Structure 1
Amino acid sequence: MSRAHARRWASAVVGLGSLLIGITIFRTSLTDDEPYSYAFGHRIVFDGNFVRPGPFEASKLPVLALAALPERIGNWLGLDRRLAERALSLTALHTRERSYIVDNLPVYGGRLVTALFYLGIGVLVFAWGLEVYGPSGALGATLLIAFLPTLLGHAAAATTDAAATFAVLAAVYALARGLLDPTIERILLAGLACGFALLTKYSAAALAPLALIMVGIRTLTAEPIESKIRVAQAALSAVVLTGLVATVVLSAGFAFQHPLTNLNELACASRVMQALRGWIGGVALPLPYEYLTGLDQVLQQDQDRTAGGAVYLLGTLSEHGLPSFYLIATALKTPLPFLLLVLARPWRWHRRYTDLVWLAPIAWFAIEMSYGLNSQVGLRYLLPVFPFTALLAGAAWDHGRPRRWRQLATALGVLAVIEAAWNCPHYLSYFNQLIGSRVNAYRYLADSNLDWDQARFELWRWEERQQPGTYFLDARYEPRAGLVVVRASELVGVYDVATYRWLREANAHGTAHLIDSVGDAFLVFAVDPKVVLPATEAGQKSGPPGE
């Protein structure tokens, strides 16, 4: 395959993925996190401040300002919602769904901005794969990441997960190239990429230790004709300069508001920040005040488990992080063809530098998230490692492999495409075949892995097919007989263990039976009328769970 053909195919692959994202954007309701994310971005664009008024905005960073730009531009152009109403009237959406989108139009506009990061991920994976493997491997890696359900789902939400995935990939790519040939242009580009990554998600701070690990990789994989000492010196110098540029970009992202911060000025609610204040409290750090304030709040919330709900895995709730959480979540929520291609990849000595560079963020994020954090509420936290995993899997199309193995890899890639298209728009709730029927998904994971309140549209359509008074949508604490519809995350007690405790007990005793799911995220139970209040006595509460 020529490079030109590979580029055309890659464009088609990313184009099809973008179409699936577009469908998902307008076929799903707002997730639990989107209102908070958008509110923070809106405050930056319209008010020019970075204050976080509530705990749910502690982790938000300036990249979210991009999501509010469509609203700002629309106001400047004098556009009103009637234009959107006319456009939506041409679709197959129901009246209630169209009204919901119009009422939340700014956030849906922000979703379109998030989708642009998906395009960027596809471009970078293809470009890096082309450098390492050539056309076939680059196309294979692009196909795998483009049709990864978890990425498709989060690229359709106005949150920071897709942006962080793009930014971390761009930063590591730029760093890897800069360490190989530390020119001023490459160092500047790496600094810009790292600085932008710091503006997307606090987990991107892992780029600091990763950069040092990459210095070690560059030194250890130096060619025999290179002096390891000189390579190490040049690499360290490049990383220091990259860090300086990144801090300037970070301050620029906060509009240079309070760019130097003394830790004695902060509340330092977390133990980590308290320890740092004890060591360097009198030093003015070249980091924005609001960046450090948010970091302190995030660390404190993780330390005290005051945000995000309990950790849920395999039917068990925990107030602390579980080391096996991300390993199991990855095994259950990644398409099997993707996993098989990663496990079966060939390793080549001449690729040792890039292979180790790709493995470094995978290993770092996996260990940090599994052992260093209590807040394990979604595979989305590990999403930045998947582009590197796809690049590793691209070796399945290595020209040194037998033709039949490359054909098998292509067949597996096609299966991944078909599966992704088939599951549209249920990407957030995607599970592979290891769990059997999707209705069983709540037994394994919850929260943003399954139910992030994204399936209201399908719930409303389900309601239209039911007779009034024959089902219950809000029976959190008091038993009801008949059909009871419940959010999966509420059923398992992620947010409040007392919620639907009666239903969990009835299900365990065989007096309530799961008979269906709606959009994967809502579960329909048939409750025995002999053991709870009759439906005719209890009355019905309307409105989707969570409202």
Structure 2
Amino acid sequence: MIDYLKLGETPDHEAPEQKPSWVAFSLGAILIVSGALMFFAAKTDSGIMDELAHIPSGYGYVHELDYRLNPEHPPLLKAMSALPLLLLNPAFPVNDPAWTSAINGQWDMGSSFLYKSGNDPDKIIFWARLFPIILTLLLSLLIFLVARDLFGPKWALLPTALFALSPTVLAHGHYVTTDIAAAFGILLAIYAFLGNLSDPSGKKLLWAGVAFGLAQLLKFSAVLLGPLFLMLVFFWSIFTLASGSYSGFWGWLGSFFRIFFKKLWMTFLVFVIGVVIIVYPVYFLFTKNYPQARQTADTEYILSSFAGGPPGPNASCNPTRCLAEATIWATKNPVTRPLAEYALGALMVTQRAAGGNTNYFLGEISNSGSRSYFPIVFGLKETLPTLIFLLIAFFLAILAVFRGLRNKAKTFGQKMAAYFENNFAQFTFALFIAFYWFMSMKSPLNIGFRHLLPTIPLFYLLLTSAWKKWAESGKPLFKKTLVAVLLVWFFGETVFAAPYFLSYFNEIGGGIPNGYKYVTDSNYDWGQDFSRFRDWAKENLKGEKIAVDYFGAASPEYYLPGQAVNWWSAKGDPRGSGIHWLAVSVNTLEGAFGKPIYYFKRNPADEYKWLAAIYPKEEGIGGVPKPDLKAGTTIFIYRLP
């Protein structure tokens, strides 16, 4: 009988070890170094593409209490990031058409707010990034606390270090984006739910509901927690009974349903608490000044094509379209319209995922997605020492399963009961990873390694479980030395990646200088290098004009007035306008030169053929015209002869 999930106990049932002072010192050092690296990156990286929408949206929520911008993402990360901006009191252009008449005019509003309203965009971007940095550090601390409960304080340092000092985490951890926030909310919700599942109480039920609600406010991918929790209730009920004896099948079935429905009711209460106490009040606040008629009109327009559009006269809607119709109806009721805004965002995410996105991947361009995208990107973007940790952990887990199955002293039910009694948390982590990756890989929406971030802490916790058991068996000195060697290698990767964390690729992917040849967008080029380009242009061009085709949140004309000229391929050779310098974001270049597949059509005018006629292409995959130099890692600069 499984009576208690061993959260707070070591897997071998020994009392938790006293936390050594060096563990506290090491944890503090990890968090300080991680925070310092993110703080420096927040100062030196220019605005990335999604921040152009997220920052004005968040400020609109907290300053105007109006949710008309960026409804496809929940508000909490954006709103918390905008709170420091209230101290700056920037001008917010509420008379701009992007606010008054455009439907979800987030991009134009971002441009107007940052660059056309007399504000200091660099100060706004930096202050908005402070909360994401704090949240990333809190997630690192949460990983330590979960790992400490499962593996003890010394081994808890391993997943904490791998996460807090990961180049990918350091990159996304200082941007006003929702991926790290999703990882925080999902881990917190899983941890709280497991605590209440194994040892229920009113207090734990409340905290599980609050954690679930917070996760829903951080990213819509947290919706997957719903089916996950239902699966956990099923497995918990099954394996609670695995080692018991019952009067036949019907006796077992009756016991199963008693446990299952009791836990199912508890899970339903978790959902209700999360929605009623957390989600509803936040959306109520941020839709307070969003005019009801405007909300209805915006929702109708945004969902006009959802599931084939509205049904015809006297026709009933198909079940999927009925979700959109119900959401539109809910906007007309003052009680339900906060939930309607939440539902709108969830439906927008569903609609976007079904439609895919145009991206460059392994020399090709499409909007159909690839099942191999996320596994390959994971293999190219994770550090090699982390991949080695994971591979060894995987083989150790397989060996442990085979050894357990060969144990003749116990029945299969006893083996399962013993395993889940000590490893239900690890089973939960693996189940969510499998579920999340399955949903991601079957979707045509290939948006980058960042989409996998909610599963990264769980990977690191699982590898720690396997390594702890292995290292504390025979020859512990050799195994712990191997851990130390891999960690030193890992730290070296992070140090040498600075400050180009977003562009990090491991040695398999050619390292930072060559990662763009495999995949771009948020994996490599999100617009973060414009400040480095600006500094180069001011120092080297001495006022000479330069044509700029830039992908990101910065405004070339704002930072280089009278010098930067917005450009794109279809405008042709800038030498015809007397301009002999060209700067192009590598994300744009790969989009121009990648091979279209799966019926993807690209306008020939967008293919920079005139540039390829001047500069030879680089050899190998993703060959783009070889630049004369680069600003940072992502802005390719050409001196046109």
Partner residue in 1 for 2:31: 14
State yes or no: 1:104 paired with 2:175.
no
SS in structure 2 at match of 1:485: strand
State yes or no: 1:271 paired with 2:307.
yes
Partner residue in 2 for 1:433: 507
Which residue of 417, 424, 429 corresponds with 2:491? 417
Q: CA RMSD in A?
A: 3.3
The CA distance in 1 between the partners of 2:479 and 2:618, in whole Å, is 50
Work out whether residues 136 and 397 of structure 1, in 8 Å CA contact, stay in contact via their aligned partners in 2.
no
**Structure 1 pair 257–275 and aligned structure 2 pair: CA distance change class (3 A):** farther
Q: Deviations over 1:63-118 (max 9, x none)?
A: 31111111224549xxxxxxxxxxxxxxxxxxxxxxx9943322321100111111
Work out whether residues 55 and 82 of structure 2, in 8 Å CA contact, stay in contact via their aligned partners in 1.
yes
Q: Comparing 517-526 with 161-170, which one deviates more in the overlay?
A: 517-526
Partner residue in 2 for 1:224: 243
The CA distance in 1 between the partners of 2:386 and 2:347, in whole Å, is 37
Q: Could you tell me which amino acid in structure 2 is paired with residue 232 of structure 1? A: F
Q: How far apart are residue 339 of structure 1 and its match? A: 1.2
SS in structure 1 at match of 2:591: coil
- What is the 5 A alignment of 1:334-345? 334-345=382-393
SS in structure 1 at match of 2:136: helix
Which residue of 291, 298, 315 corresponds with 2:342? 291
Partner residue in 2 for 1:191: 209
The CA distance in 1 between the partners of 2:206 and 2:236, in whole Å, is 19
Partner residue in 1 for 2:42: 25
Work out whether residues 491 and 504 of structure 1, in 8 Å CA contact, stay in contact via their aligned partners in 2.
no
**Structure 1 pair 245–514 and aligned structure 2 pair: CA distance change class (3 A):** same
Runs of 5+ consecutive residues of structure 1 not aligned to the other structure? 77-99, 527-533, 536-547
Partner residue in 1 for 2:366: 318
TM normalised by structure 2 equals 0.70
State yes or no: 1:476 paired with 2:548.
no
Which residue of 48, 54, 71 corresponds with 2:85? 71
**Structure 1 pair 282–45 and aligned structure 2 pair: CA distance change class (3 A):** closer
Work out whether residues 44 and 65 of structure 1, in 8 Å CA contact, stay in contact via their aligned partners in 2.
yes
The CA distance in 2 between the partners of 1:162 and 1:101, in whole Å, is 28
Work out whether residues 272 and 299 of structure 1, in 8 Å CA contact, stay in contact via their aligned partners in 2.
no
SS in structure 2 at match of 1:376: coil
Which residue of 14, 19, 26 corresponds with 1:3? 19
Work out whether residues 108 and 158 of structure 1, in 8 Å CA contact, stay in contact via their aligned partners in 2.
no
Runs of 5+ consecutive residues of structure 2 not aligned to the other structure? 1-16, 91-117, 246-254, 310-317, 331-335, 401-418, 550-566, 595-601
Q: Comparing 429-438 with 384-393, which one deviates more in the overlay?
A: 429-438
Q: Deviations over 1:491-535 (max 9, x none)?
A: 112897653532457644989434543321122457xxxxxxx64
Partner residue in 2 for 1:442: 516
Q: Could you tell me which amino acid in structure 1 is paired with residue 352 of structure 2? A: Q
**Structure 1 pair 124–367 and aligned structure 2 pair: CA distance change class (3 A):** same
Which residue of 527, 530, 536 corresponds with 1:462? 536
Partner residue in 1 for 2:472: 400
- What is the 5 A alignment of 1:520-539? 520-525=633-638, 535=641
Partner residue in 2 for 1:242: 270
Partner residue in 1 for 2:457: 387
Q: Could you tell me which amino acid in structure 2 is paired with residue 3 of structure 1? A: K
The CA distance in 2 between the partners of 1:458 and 1:278, in whole Å, is 49
**Structure 1 pair 194–437 and aligned structure 2 pair: CA distance change class (3 A):** closer
Partner residue in 2 for 1:531: none
Partner residue in 2 for 1:367: 438
**Structure 1 pair 69–509 and aligned structure 2 pair: CA distance change class (3 A):** closer
Percent identity between the aligned chains? 24
Which residue of 123, 142, 162 corresponds with 2:141? 123
TM normalised by structure 1 equals 0.82
Q: Could you tell me which amino acid in structure 2 is paired with residue 303 of structure 1? A: A
Work out whether residues 194 and 246 of structure 1, in 8 Å CA contact, stay in contact via their aligned partners in 2.
yes
Which residue of 448, 452, 466 corresponds with 2:526? 452
